């Protein structure tokens, strides 16, 4: 089923009053108006009062027409998210998006530098329309808009917002949520950062507009932030005993064969590296458990495509620990501005007693300290990963929150979600937390 | 990223320095506020070794608040202890300090609910309630606290983590634990406030924070001010007379709009005494930072910050409104940024300001989230109540058609 979303640019502004009134629950209308006209604490004078419009695109071909603007936005985003950059998202949409009802909310403003030129893209929200709200029950027909996510491939769903235009772009998106003809009562921000610039913007918006919202899940995952130097970092992360033991393991390996740390360089043959990684991963427990990238042809193709493209853009970091020329541990990261994302790791279990995975992580820490432009690396790991949680001392909060779009019943449903969850767990003994 | 199942790699060889403390911890509850002071020494140690500094919960800042702002509250201090790792019969080691208040009603909604609630104690001059937890055993300490919540004889169904930082080590710890326990939570309040995080140097900081025009404006104002007389930026030094500095700051504040509206520190004897006590104590501990902008030896702007390890907290600012067209407050903020960069230990300064504070929001570029998270203590019907709060909130707003006021924090500066 296709839903006929067309350009909504003109409607968002005139619908503004209704939106605000709906969202300020229980507050008298006059008060709501007063609040909406309050000046926002915007730090950037150039963006204050920028007129935003929302354009909805619902097919891939049309989305590709906005490619240049999207690329530009990704480079100027308030918080980098490699998974929502065009070169990574478009191939994902092509292979995993088929059959899903996808739409893309593009928030634009006239470019102050070129008033007659193309508009400046200030916000990008890839959305999926679902008939059910997943966290409660498939039987309840609660139409929901979600940030699009492909589990195991997309680890962060923070939308792209242009630095300097954040509050305006987010407000325009919420205005569209209230006025657009999507018919959904709920908007789920799943797997977004629970701290940092995007989170602050969201909190400010929700506060200012007294929006009904509910955080349905929050967890932390390991984050790397460089220390003064790699030595310092390792010393603060690992105890003396553990460091000594790792040195011993490395030494032992080096004594029995040729041990080398290698990294993919710009002149290297990326295809050979990627092939080798895939083959290596297939031979680990993941391959045996059917969870390696090669186990599914779609996954393999997608992975090869994004790895190749990332390499071309200088955004791929591929490391291998080799023993007698043969890889025994592999790590693959994607880079994005000041941020970076650990995407896959694999190690050979035969060498488990030498901790090849940890040795390669230490090499990764060394290499990251050589790139001062990288301020953080997101582990993209599950919250309970022992090894990475131990080695990477910092954490990043990831959360999922659901917000009423402002449509009919939205607030009531958001208010009812925790109760329904409680009921599910206590009365029907079902754990529907979606873990 | 569910990839490396290499817990086997590490778990076979546990890390002794980190796992030095045995797991068995216990909680002692001190109900008589007069006895809180008995633990001051150990308490100070925890503050110095805390996973996240919070000056407002340090003993010297909290104890003087009890007789002045806590007489009518039912206060209790939950102390988490671990056995001394070095010897079996040694004195136990304090690992966590949770100053709590028992409220007979839950006040996270606009209307009070008749549910007995434990809450981190927030008095009038406490702008952050992140509890003090020893870094080396933070996880175990918080677990022990939750165990006590579940089994202690406080009789409360809800626990309110009030006014805690919504980012940073303590928040991560709490999020982790709540995730593991799969506890329903309700965030009754969440807002951002201005935070200063140091840049490479003050010049780089100001260039990123202020546009060229604003910087020129401030230079012009500074120049115009210097045409009126001798201007001088002064910072409290360790050999200065602290009483005179406090007096000067109080007088400046009393003469401003705060004094006229009875919001100044001098407006109430208890507030004045409290400020004098903590400022003197902070000065003796080297945790006080006071700045003044003087025009011909007369103060026209003053600022008072408290320091705590790598963090710091802006407590009060005041300026003389007769000079407001020269922005003395802003000029002093710029000086504050310079001085903050001079202190290499200082990583951040919490503005402790209201969410929308235009001046600070401009000059202080970072943000920090402040949250109030309510969870069940584990006693019935805690989980049900936590799950029902949003519905009650909705019912109240929709059906009772009462006026909901904008929920805003009350820590007016």
Helix and strand counts by DSSP (H, E) for chain A: 16, 13
Residues A118 and A167 in one domain: yes
- Say if residue A320's pLDDT is above 50: yes
Residues A214 and A305 in one domain: no
User: Does A32 reside within a domain?
Assistant: no
Task: Find residues 365-394 of chain A whose CB sits inside 8 Å of chain B.
Answer: 379-383, 385-388, 390
| Nearest neighbour of A343 by CB, restricted to B1, B182, B357 | B1
Residues A156 and A252 in one domain: no
Residues B309 and B347: beta-carbon distance below 8 Å: no
Q: What is the mean pLDDT of residues B370-385?
A: 90
Residues A252 and A360 in one domain: yes
Residues A241 and A363 in one domain: yes
Beta strand A377-378 with A326-336 is unpaired
Q: What is the mean pLDDT of residues A118-144?
A: 87
- Say if residue A4's pLDDT is above 80: no
Residues A209 and A242 in one domain: no
Partners of B288 in the β-ladder? B306
Query: What CATH number is given for B19-192+369-398 in this structure?
Result: 3.40.630.30
Range of the domain at A251: 226-375
Q: What is the mean pLDDT of residues B354-359?
A: 70
Residues A147 and A243 in one domain: no
What are the pLDDT digits (tens) for B249-284?
A: 999 999 988 888 888 999 999 999 999 999 999 999
What are the pLDDT digits (tens) for B137-159?
A: 999 999 999 999 999 889 999 99
Share of chain B above pLDDT 70, in %: 88
Residue numbers in A near B1 (CB within 8 A): 155, 342-345, 379-382, 385
Q: Tell me, what's the pLDDT at A171?
A: 95
The DSSP H or E segment spanning B261 is: none
Average pLDDT, rounded, for chain B: 87
- Say if residue A16's pLDDT is above 60: no
Residues B369 and B191: beta-carbon distance below 8 Å: yes
Q: Tell me, what's the pLDDT at B359?
A: 67
DSSP state of B92: P
Name the range with the highest mean pLDDT among A284-298, B30-44, B346-360, B388-402. Answer: B30-44
Q: Tell me, what's the pLDDT at B358?
A: 67
- Say if residue B191's pLDDT is above 80: yes
Is A320 or A412 the better-scoring residue by pLDDT?
Answer: A320
Lowest mean pLDDT among A110-124, A212-226, A366-380, B389-403: B389-403
Residues A292 and A361 in one domain: yes
Subunit contact B391:A418, Cβ cutoff 8 A: yes
User: Does A332 reside within a domain?
Assistant: yes
Residues A239 and A299 in one domain: yes
Residues A269 and A359 in one domain: yes
- Which residue ranges make up each domain of chain B? 19-192+369-398, 199-346
- Say if residue A316's pLDDT is above 80: yes
Residues A68 and A215 in one domain: yes
Predicted ipTM of the assembly = 0.87
Question: At A286, is the pLDDT very low, low, confident or very high (cuts 50, 70, 90)?
Answer: confident
Distance of CA A397 to the CA centre of its chain: 12
Residues B361 and B203: beta-carbon distance below 8 Å: no
| Nearest neighbour of B4 by CB, restricted to A215, A387, A416 | A387
The upper half-sphere exposure of residue B386, i.e. CA atoms within 13 Å in the direction of its Cβ, equals: 29
Do the domains B199-346 and B19-192+369-398 match in fold? Answer: yes
Structure tokens at A180: 């657009």
CATH of residue A205's domain is 3.40.630.30
Residues A388 and A382: beta-carbon distance below 8 Å: no
Residues B348 and B310: beta-carbon distance below 8 Å: yes
Beta-strand (E) ranges in B255-310? 288-295, 298-308
Question: At B323, is the pLDDT very low, low, confident or very high (cuts 50, 70, 90)?
Answer: very high
Q: Tell me, what's the pLDDT at A137?
A: 67
Q: Tell me, what's the pLDDT at A17?
A: 34
Question: At A420, is the pLDDT very low, low, confident or very high (cuts 50, 70, 90)?
Answer: confident
Q: Is the pTM of this model over 0.80?
A: yes
Q: Which of A45, A387, A389 would you mutate first to test chain B, the one with the most B CBs within 10 A?
A: A387
**What are the DSSP calls for A21-89, one per residue?**
HHHSTT--HHHHHHHHTSPP--S-TTTTT---EEEEE-SHHHHHTTHHHHHHHHHTBSS--GGGSHHHH
Residue B91 CB contacts under 8 Å (≥ 6 apart), including other chains: B84
User: Does A384 reside within a domain?
Assistant: no
- Say if residue A294's pLDDT is above 50: yes
Subunit contact B187:A215, Cβ cutoff 8 A: yes
Residues A207 and A258 in one domain: no
User: Does A29 reside within a domain?
Assistant: no
Q: Tell me, what's the pLDDT at B113?
A: 86
User: Does A12 reside within a domain?
Assistant: no
Number of residue pairs across A and B with CB atoms under 8 Å?
Answer: 184
Query: What CATH number is given for B199-346 in this structure?
Result: 3.40.630.30
Closest residue in chain B to residue A240, using alpha carbons only:
B17
Between the alpha carbon of residue A35 and those of residues A205, A207, A359, B192, B407, the distances in Å are 12, 11, 55, 17, 13
Q: Tell me, what's the pLDDT at B27?
A: 94
DSSP state of A162: B
């Amino acid at each position: 089923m296709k839903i006929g979303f067309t350009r909504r640019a003109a409607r968002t502004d005139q619908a503004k009053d209704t939106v605000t009134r709906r969202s300020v629950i229980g507050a008298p209308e006059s008060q709501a108006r007063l609040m909406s006209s309050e000046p926002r604490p915007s730090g950037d004078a150039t963006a204050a009062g920028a007129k935003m419009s929302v354009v909805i695109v619902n097919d891939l071909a049309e989305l590709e027409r906005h490619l240049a603007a999207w690329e530009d936005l990704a480079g100027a985003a308030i918080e980098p998210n490699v998974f929502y950059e065009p070169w990574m998202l478009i191939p994902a949409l092509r292979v995993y998006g088929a059959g899903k009802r996808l739409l893309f909310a593009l928030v634009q403003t006239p470019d102050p530098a070129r008033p007659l030129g193309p508009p400046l893209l200030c916000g990008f929200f890839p959305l999926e329309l679902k008939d059910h709200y997943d966290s409660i029950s498939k039987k309840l027909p609660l139409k929901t808009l979600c940030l699009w996510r492909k589990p195991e491939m997309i680890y962060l769903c923070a939308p792209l917002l242009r630095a300097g235009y954040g509050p305006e772009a987010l407000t325009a998106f919420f205005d569209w949520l209230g006025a657009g003809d999507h018919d959904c009562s709920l908007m789920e921000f799943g797997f977004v950062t629970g701290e940092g610039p995007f989170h602050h913007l969201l909190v400010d918006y929700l506060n200012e507009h007294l929006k009904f919202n509910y955080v349905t899940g929050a967890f932390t995952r390991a984050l790397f932030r460089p220390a003064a130097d790699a030595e310092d970092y390792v010393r603060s992360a690992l105890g003396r005993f553990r460091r000594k033991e790792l040195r011993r393991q490395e030494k032992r390996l080096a004594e029995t064969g040729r041990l080398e740390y290698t990294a993919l360089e710009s002149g290297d043959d990326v295809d050979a590296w990627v092939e080798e990684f895939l083959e290596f991963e297939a031979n680990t427990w993941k391959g045996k458990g059917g969870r390696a990238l090669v186990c599914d042809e779609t996954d393999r193709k997608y992975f090869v495509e994004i790895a190749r493209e990332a390499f071309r853009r200088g955004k791929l970091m591929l490391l291998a620990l080799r023993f007698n020329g043969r890889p025994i541990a592999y790590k693959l990261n994607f880079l994005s501005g000041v941020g970076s994302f650990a995407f896959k790791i694999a190690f050979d279990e035969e060498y488990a007693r030498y901790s090849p995975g940890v040795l390669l992580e230490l090499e990764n820490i060394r290499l990251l300290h050589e790139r001062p432009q990288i301020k953080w690396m997101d582990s993209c790991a599950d919250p309970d990963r022992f090894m990475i949680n131990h080695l990477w001392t910092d954490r990043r909060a990831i959360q999922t929150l659901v917000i009423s779009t402002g449509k009919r019943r939205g607030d009531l449903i958001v208010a009812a979600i925790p109760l329904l969850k409680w009921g599910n767990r206590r009365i029907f003994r079902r754990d529907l937390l979606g873990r | 990223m569910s990839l490396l199942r290499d817990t086997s790699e590490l778990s076979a060889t546990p890390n002794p320095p980190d796992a030095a403390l045995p797991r068995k911890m216990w909680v002692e509850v001190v109900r008589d506020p007069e006895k809180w002071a008995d633990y001051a020494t150990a308490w100070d140690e925890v503050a110095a070794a805390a996973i996240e500094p919070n000056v407002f919960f340090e003993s010297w800042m909290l104890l003087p608040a009890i007789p002045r702002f806590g007489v009518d509250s039912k206060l209790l201090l939950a102390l988490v202890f671990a056995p001394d790792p070095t010897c079996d019969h040694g004195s136990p080691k304090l690992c966590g300090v949770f100053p709590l208040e028992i409220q007979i009603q839950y006040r996270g909604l606009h209307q009070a609910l008749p549910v007995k609630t434990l809450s981190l104690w927030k008095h009038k001059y406490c702008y952050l309630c992140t509890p003090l937890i020893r870094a080396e055993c933070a996880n175990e300490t918080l677990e022990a606290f939750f165990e006590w919540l579940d089994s202690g004889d406080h009789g409360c169904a809800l626990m309110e983590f009030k006014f805690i930082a919504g980012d940073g080590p303590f928040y991560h710890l709490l999020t982790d634990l709540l995730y593991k326990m799969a506890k329903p939570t309700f965030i009754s309040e969440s807002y951002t406030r201005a935070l200063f995080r140091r840049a490479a140097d003050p010049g780089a900081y100001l260039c990123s924070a202020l546009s060229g025009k604003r910087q020129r404006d401030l230079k012009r104002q500074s120049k115009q001010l210097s045409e009126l007389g001798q201007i001088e930026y002064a910072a409290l030094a360790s050999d200065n007379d602290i009483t005179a500095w406090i007096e000067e700051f109080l007088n400046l504040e009393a003469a401003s709009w705060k004094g006229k509206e009875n919001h100044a520190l001098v407006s109430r004897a208890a507030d004045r005494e409290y400020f004098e006590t903590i400022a003197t104590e902070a000065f003796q501990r080297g945790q006080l930072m006071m700045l003044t902008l003087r025009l011909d030896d007369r103060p026209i702007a003053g600022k008072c910050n408290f320091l705590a390890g790598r963090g710091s907290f802006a407590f009060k600012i005041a300026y003389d409104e007769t000079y407001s067209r020269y922005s003395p407050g802003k000029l002093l903020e710029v000086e504050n940024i310079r001085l903050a960069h001079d202190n290499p230990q200082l990583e951040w300064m919490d503005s402790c300001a209201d969410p929308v504070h235009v001046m600070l929001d401009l000059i202080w570029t970072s943000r920090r989230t402040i949250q109030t998270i309510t969870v069940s203590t584990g006693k019935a019907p805690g989980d049900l109540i936590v799950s029902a709060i949003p519905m009650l909130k909705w019912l109240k707003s929709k059906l009772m058609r009462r006026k909901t006021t904008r929920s805003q924090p009350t820590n007016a500066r």
